[in-house]
Amino acid sequence: MAAYKIMVLHGPNLNLLGRREPEVYGSITLDRVNKALEEKADELGAAIDAFQSNHEGELIDRIQAASTTYAGILINPAAFTHYSYALREALAAAGLPLVEVHLSNIFAREAFRSHSVVSPVAAGVICGFGINSYLLGLEALVRVIAAGGKR
C-alpha cells in the first residue's frame, strides 16, 4: 500500500492542455500529466488523486476536505496563483505540506505572472520545466512529507 496519499489540484483552463496554445504550454494533455504523476507516485511509494476545476469554490471545497485523507497537496493554481486570496487561505487553513508548480517560467512572462499569492503558504515552488515541474514537485513534496512536513 502507498505510504502517502497526495492530492493533485489543477486550476482553471488546464483542461485545455495539449489542445490550445501548444507553443506556451506544450502538447501534452492533462490526462497524460496525471498518468505520468501516477507512475511517478508509484515509484515514490505514494498515490495521487487528481482534480481539475475552472471554479475557485470547487477547488476550495476539495482543499477543505483534504486534511483528513491526504498527506500533502501538489497544486498548479493556474491564473488563481496571481490573485486568489480565497485559495491561499484555504491552503493555509488545510495545514498540509504544499508544493506549487507551473508549467511555464512565470518570471519570464507578463509582469502580473511574476507574483504568486500562493507561494508564501507553500513549502516551495517549481516552474518552467513543463510536465517535469509536476514530476519534480511531486518528488519534492514526498520528501517534505517524509521529513515530517518540514523542508
Specify the residue, 13 or 119, whose C-beta has the smaller distance to ligand CA2.
13
Q: Report how far residue 2's alpha carbon sits from residue 106's, in angstroms, rounded to the nearest whole number.
A: 33
Q: For residue 80, what is its C-alpha cell?
A: 488563481
- 95: phi then psi, degrees, rounded to nearest 5: 70, 20
Specify the residue, 104 or 119, whose C-beta has the smaller distance to ligand CA2.
104
Three-state DSSP class for 93? helix
Residues that bind ligand CA2 (CB under 6 A): 13-14, 16-17, 20-21, 25, 76, 78-79, 81, 102-104, 106, 113
> Is 115 one of the annotated active-site residues of the chain?
no
Q: Report how far residue 125's alpha carbon sits from residue 120's, in angstroms, rounded to the nearest whole number.
A: 10
Shortest reach from residue 17's CB to ligand CA2, in Å:
5
From the list 4, 10, 102, 134, the catalytic residue is 102
Tell me which DSSP letter residue 89 carries: H
Q: Report how far residue 70's alpha carbon sits from residue 1's, in angstroms, rounded to the nearest whole number.
A: 14
> Is 25 one of the annotated active-site residues of the chain?
yes
Shortest reach from residue 89's CB to ligand CA2, in Å:
19
Shortest reach from residue 14's CB to ligand CA2, in Å:
5
Specify the residue, 4 or 100, whose C-beta has the smaller distance to ligand CA2.
100
In the sheet where 46-52 sits, what is the strand order? 46-52, 4-10, 72-76, 98-102, 124-127
Shortest reach from residue 3's CB to ligand CA2, in Å:
27
Specify the residue, 71 or 123, whose C-beta has the smaller distance to ligand CA2.
123
Active site residues: 25, 102
